[in-house]
Chains A and B, each alone.
Chain A
Amino acid sequence: MPELLLLALLMGAVTYPSRAIPLLVAGFGRLPAPALAYLRLVGPAVLAALAAVYTMVVVTTAADGTRTASFHIGIEWVAVLAALALVIWRKSLLLGIVAAAAIVALARATGAA
């Protein structure tokens, strides 16, 4: 077996439980109302967290493997806000995504970002 396939198997072995345990544990479909209310709010919270972190935080990895997060201000903010505005106004995620990518690509091509 190629050596790094074993590493992939180990990485998969530690990833799968976090994906599978709630899905496979019996009873998750009949949780009490407060738990369902909480889980209903996880979607907007975690997606907003992902969007904000990927827009505003940059991670650099040093030679010794240390990860450092820093606050980032850039054209990506404008792009994501434009996408949000288009999603709200035109009800089209695709349009928002295309506009966001176009804004960033244009800014980088012209040296503005």
Chain B
Amino acid sequence: MNAPGAMPLSRARRQLVLDGLGIVVTAAGFGFVYGVAAAAAGFSLVEASGMSLIVFAGAAQFAAVGYVAGGFPWLGIVLLTAFLNARHLLYSAAIAPWLAGRRPAERAVMAHLLTDEAFALSISHFRRVGRADTWGYWYAAIVTTWIPWNVATIAGVVVGGALPDPAEFGLDVVFPAAMAGLAVGLATGRREIVAAVVGAILGVTVSLLWDPAVGIVAGGLIGPLVALALPGPPMAEAYPAAPLPVDVEHPERLVDEPAPPGGDRGLP
């Protein structure tokens, strides 16, 4: 059941699948490059793949490969990893209200798969549908990112540098283009636009003054505060559908439920 004004589920899922295609390509491309770099740094196939499976965070993995190759102490690598991945706290907090009705074990697995891409695709999808759709989360997290990243890691280690650099095909711009496009999709009102613009400006400024990992977190934290400080009606009045996960016909239920027979649950 969709919230009033929300996109039908089957149509939203089709859009999610299409939106995710570019992410698949870029995850595969850079998973491959990671595999090549890891092999060159002396990682075995098990070690490179293990890192992709266990850490599953591109920026931290690339940094770790460089630091391992440079002989840096593990403590520094681990601390840098925590620092680079701190932004996931924001993603988790933003997506938690949508997924509050899921079982803890399921949420624990969802948490491990929460990446930039999974967050961007699934939060956009939930907003379009007007409620949580766990099929959409699994698709965004596993199909578009986890599978291509891990398969490509193996390919990168095994095939080595035989394939050209993905940057030659412009694949390095796919990630920022996708994030920008998904941000536009979420910018449905004045406050969202202000949050996005302030987040972008602060993100770049703090990145240049300190570090991109801090800049992204600063933009994501402070942009919404500036937007909320704008004069105007409170968010709850401006966006009546704002608290999202509640099924409008069954407000006691959170997030998605089994499909009604013949309901709007068709996959793409």
Contact = CB atoms under 8 A, between A and B. Distances in A.
B168 interface: yes
Interface string B225-246: 1011000001110010011110
Contact of B216 (A12, A19, A36, A49): A49
A22 to B, nearest CB: 4
Contacts of A19: 85, 88-89, 91-92, 111-112, 114
B55 A15 contact: yes
Contacts of B191: 41
Interface in B249-264: 254
Contacts of A8: 47, 50-51, 54-55
Interface string A57-75: 1010101010101110000
A47 B82 contact: no
A28 B97 contact: yes
A14 B74 CA distance: 13
**B interface: dominant SS:** helix
Interface residues of A, number: 79
Interface residues of B, number: 118
Interface in A14-58: 14-16, 18-25, 28-31, 33-34, 36-57
Given A11-B54, A42-B221, A47-B183, 18 more contacts: A7-B77, A7-B78, A11-B60, A18-B85, A19-B85, A19-B88, A36-B235, A38-B225, A39-B93, A39-B97, A43-B127, A46-B216, A47-B199, A71-B204, A94-B19, A94-B21, A101-B169, A109-B168
Q: Which 9 A-B pairs have the closest CB atoms?
A: A29-B100, A49-B219, A45-B223, A49-B203, A45-B199, A46-B220, A104-B170, A37-B235, A41-B224
21 contacts: A8-B51, A11-B54, A15-B56, A15-B81, A15-B85, A23-B99, A31-B97, A33-B236, A36-B244, A39-B94, A41-B223, A44-B223, A46-B91, A47-B120, A47-B199, A48-B196, A48-B199, A49-B223, A51-B179, A54-B179, A59-B212
